[in-house]
Amino acid sequence: MDSSFHQHRWIAPKQRAVLFVLHGIFEHGGRYEHFASYLNAAGISVLSFDYRGHGRSPGEMGYIESWSSLVNDINDWVQWQKTEFDNLPQFIFGHSLGGLLLVDYLSLYRPSFNGVILSSAALKVKEDLSPLLQKIAPIMAKIAPKLKTIKLDPGLISRDPAEVEKYRNDRLIYHGRISAQTGNETLQASKTIEQCFPGFDWPVLVLHGSDDGLTEPEGSRVFYEQIASDDKTLKLYEEYRHELLNELGREVVLEDIRDWMTRRI
């Protein structure tokens, strides 16, 4: 893996396990420091990296040219890190776009993990996304890939005003409009990911907020119902928005994740 990709490492003093973290669209791994600190106290080390075009990594900010390149980057990074922690139970976590990438990556490369955690994963196209927009997305991506389209509403990430303000003021987050290419790459991945569900057989914890306005909670329900895993848990948090780790009542989510992992160490 290219060493210019920015990495984040939070190593627990007395390691019992390690968690790989895949962040969401336009954000960066540094936003998971509080999550890592919480898990470090339970003996779980946490690793993350910024995707190309995200955070401090190289590439045009907020631009996803190729979905397959992102998936390959994840595989390169995971394989690079796995050998260092091969004596520990290994888990992997994906939030939002990171959850979509994670399911795709697992399906393609079939790596070994003790458990998988999906947080607000983008596993289904939003119900309110215009059919016309879905139809013209590939055309616009081809003729004008960098055309700016819609913009994400930061108010949808959390009911906590302080967290929304922190998001707005984070200079390492891309706050611009979504390019036609970025939108189409993520849209096509969301539309085809369901074909990976029946072959998914890792132990998995699926988390989603009922009031998520950015990704579809129904996608998590369908995923849970269709996967082959014998060890699977679905938790839907009433009134929670998109960023479960930054929501009011986040303590419940943190405890659920820690306890689920601890039982599988």
Which residues are identified as catalytic? Answer: 96, 212, 242
Q: What is the CA radius of gyration of the chain?
A: 17
Q: Which residues contact 262 (CB under 8 A, 6 or more apart)?
A: 42
Residue 102, CA distances (Å) to 8, 68, 154, 189, 218 in order: 18, 12, 23, 12, 18
Q: Which residues contact 176 (CB under 8 A, 6 or more apart)?
A: 61, 62, 148, 151
Structure tokens at 162: 């302080």
Name the DSSP class of 178.
Answer: P
Chain centre distance of CA 32: 11
Q: Are 206 and 232 in contact (CB under 8 A)?
A: yes
